[in-house]
Amino acid sequence: MNRPYHLKPLSLASSSNIDYSSALNNQQYAAVTSTPGAALVIAGAGSGKTRTLTYRVSWLLEQGYAAEQILLLTFTNKAAREMLERVNTLLPGRASTLWGGTFHSIGHRILRHHVELLGYQRNFTIMDRDDQEALLDAVMTRKGLRLSEKRFPKANVLLEIISLLNNTGETLHALLVRKYRYFLDLEPDLQTAIEGYHLAKKTANTMDFDDLLTKTQELFLTHPEIAQHYQQQFRAILVDEYQDTNYLQANLIDILAKLHQHIMVVGDDAQSIYSWRGANVSNILDFPKRYPSAQFFPIETNYRSVPQILHLANASIFCNPQQFPKELQAIRSPYARPPARVALATNIEQASFIGQRLMELHKEGIPFAEMAVLYRAHYHSMEIQMELTRRGIPFLITSGLRFFEQAHIKDVAAMMKFALNPNDEVAFKRLVGLFRGIGKKTAESLWKQTREKLEGTHEFERLTSCKLPAKAAREWKQWLDTILEITQKEVIMTPSTMIETIMIGFYEEIMKERFTNYDVRLEDLKTLTNYSKQFSQASDFLAELTLLGENETNTQKEEDQVYLSSIHQAKGLEWRVVFIVWLTEGMFPTLRSLSEATTLEEERRLFYVAVTRCKEDLYLTYPELRLNAHYGEAFQRPSRFLEELKHDLYDRWDISLAM
């Protein structure tokens, strides 16, 4: 007969060297020293979330938990390293065997021990993005999926679809309906490609990044004894940024916490802004439903912002019905002036105001690096980039490439360049490189044919007889028809009309196939079209693009630079001065969000995140008139995120032009 014997954890609380009550505020202390069990910690912006997690780990170690019995899940390796370093500072050497890291690193660690149970060899390799694209391209080629007349997505686009399927749990059909309607007619072929890709990975004994989670979940579900092993081992689970977890990550957490039910998740539902990449705010909102006995700990003391910023942020997020109520409280003293609401006549004037105000603040002694311009979408920054370039204000783009360096901008510019100058070899090869079946050798052959047939003229109809791969014939014809249209002798096209013709004629279809964020790039090109309206000659417009691009390159050498960033990229950062721009209906919030309550709530959370990046001086700007090439001059209504705020939360600035 087996005799049960239970080991009890050694309590070291009485000999603690850490004065938790002095190191933490009351709300942090309550969360850190809470009894084992499920706990939801709602940590508001700037409230010391990392500090709370760090001290919780230290508390558990001092209560007798062995380091290897604690699992700390984060979203970045940097966050994991920072927390573990802090724990080791508090308790030297005590956290060396703690399981801490990203979801994917922990999944990888588990799979290395048990992957043979899934039919893989233990020496499996992990593909980077280039490897994934190469393998998927090979699968599509073997199955003949890119030989049809229909435009089939390139590997990078299809990989984005596969990743969303993994992380959201959606069916392919549901995802296509929600996000990729223009591929619905390809659904059977897409399914074939996806299945072939998964089979090819297993045959090659390799995994992609998502497999580190999907295969871990598969391991737990198909081999419950393995799940039980880790459920037994992890007596305490802590999760950082829980509001950013997706369907798959939440499932894995629930599986691991099943036995002990000792799970502390830390996050802020008001900062859940990543649904576009699979994050599900319901995970944090429904946590009390999944863990009915969960303790609730709000942490509302903000150490970053002045009171006026927090009053505005609190009032804004209060308008969201689905949330955990909280009210950020400031430690800092009031600032000299409240946030500014600034209406500008046009989007050009908005850029001018930002440029002038940045210079004024810099002359007052504020470094450029302490100032940021935040926007909802990358294309909102175009006029601002150009204005800062003209004024010689150094700036750093963190939301992506500088506007004129982006591939789709360069593609359209190349089309215009070749139409004006048939001797431009670089522009020609860039364009034909977009077509199926045309590599470097074929591009060189086509360039030789083009030079011989054109003989320096603009008689582009001569190119109809060029010899090229059959799979590129349709695209070549569309491109050539577009060239002929924009170079008609009897019609002198403006740059804006040329861009619109290029888009309709052939490039919009290419964008759908090549880019994962087709809709965002389309808005970029609409903005470029709008900007080009100030030029009557395409040559002048292209020269301006080149000069601006050269000036932008030179500014990258500066160290003290204004930050230009999308709000998504700015999360977790902070500046003394923040400009939030384009606060109009349809721009922020976006037009597509206005018809769906849950999406509109996320837009408001995004505004909240933007506001809480600011320490002191906040400017909320918008143009009253949008100069738009597609829709003409369009009057803009102020964003509801401004209109729903009480007037005493900000000062209105009246802008006039100096004579």
Catalytic residues: 49-50, 240-241, 271, 613
621 contacts 652 by C-beta, under 8 angstroms: no
Distances (CA, A) of 435 to 218, 407, 438, 510: 40, 15, 6, 9
The span from the CA of 299 to the CA of 46, in Å, is: 10
The span from the CA of 580 to the CA of 433, in Å, is: 39
The span from the CA of 635 to the CA of 624, in Å, is: 6
Max Cα–Cα distance, the chain, nearest Å:
101
The span from the CA of 464 to the CA of 518, in Å, is: 30
Q: Which of 136, 535, 583 is nearest to 354 (CA)?
A: 583
The span from the CA of 391 to the CA of 503, in Å, is: 32
The span from the CA of 31 to the CA of 83, in Å, is: 17
Query: Beta partners for 373?
Result: 564, 579
Phi, psi for residue 313 in degrees, rounded to 5:
-65, -45
The span from the CA of 22 to the CA of 7, in Å, is: 33
Phi-psi region of 119 (alpha: psi -120 to 50; beta: other; left: phi over 0): left
Give the orientation angle of helix 597-611 with respect to helix 307-317, to 10 degrees: 180
Instruction: Name all contacts of 7-14 with Cβ < 8 Å and 24+ positions apart.
Output: 9/63, 9/64, 9/65, 10/64, 11/63, 11/64, 12/61, 12/62, 12/63, 12/64, 13/62, 13/63
Phi, psi for residue 606 in degrees, rounded to 5:
-65, -40
Read out DSSP for 58-101?
HHHHHTT--GGGEEEEESSHHHHHHHHHHHHHHSTTTTTT-EEE
- Cis peptide leading into residue 153 (ω within 30°): no
485 contacts 501 by C-beta, under 8 angstroms: yes
405 contacts 378 by C-beta, under 8 angstroms: no
The span from the CA of 71 to the CA of 11, in Å, is: 19
429 contacts 443 by C-beta, under 8 angstroms: yes
The span from the CA of 37 to the CA of 437, in Å, is: 59
The span from the CA of 40 to the CA of 44, in Å, is: 13
The span from the CA of 160 to the CA of 166, in Å, is: 10
Q: For the sheet with 236-239, list strands across it.
A: 99-102, 70-74, 236-239, 263-267, 39-43, 295-299
